[in-house]
Amino acid sequence: MNEDIYYYNNKPLELSYSNGYSMGDKIEIVLKLENDFKSGMLSWSQMRWIIENARFGSYTCQKIVDKLIFDGKLKVNPITNNTRTFYKKPSAFDL
């Protein structure tokens, strides 16, 4: 399966558990991911690369996919190719 690499400052995203990003960089990456998805510049193959390789921003991508499934816009999870979500739907008693 072909995977597209997601770049930040012309470099591939670093790992989520061991990276040299500052607090500002991290906020910028999360905003960039959300902005790219809204404008159609973030493909499923890029999201798959981020999540499967545990890159920084994988939590944001998982939340984007989950929100689409909860809203009924997606029936199948495009990352895992099944109907399961990454996280459970927040209930009334969740903070």
Partner 1 sequence: MEKAKKGFAMIPNQLIYDDRLSNEAKILFCYIKSLSSNYRNLRNSNLRTKLGCSINTLQNAKSELVKHGYLVIHRLSSANKYSLKLPNDYPKFKQSDYPKITQSDYPKFGEYYKSNNNNNNNNNNKGFKGFKKDKK
Closest CA to 62 of 34, 39, 38, 27: 34
CA of 71: how far to CAs of 5, 32, 64, 66, in Å? Answer: 28, 22, 11, 9
Which residues in 21-50 contact partner 1 (CB under 8 A)? 22-25, 27-28, 31-32, 35-36, 39-41, 43, 45
Amino acid at 2: N
Q: Compute the least distance from the CB of residue 46 to partner 1, in Å.
A: 9
Judged by CB, which is closer to partner 1: 45, or 85? 45
Does 2 interact with partner 1 (rule: CB under 8 A)?
yes
CB 33, CB 61: distance < 8 Å: yes
Q: Compute the least distance from the CB of residue 26 to partner 1, in Å.
A: 9
Distance between CA atoms of residues 40 and 74, nearest Å: 16
Does 63 interact with partner 1 (rule: CB under 8 A)?
no
Does 20 interact with partner 1 (rule: CB under 8 A)?
no
Does 14 interact with partner 1 (rule: CB under 8 A)?
no
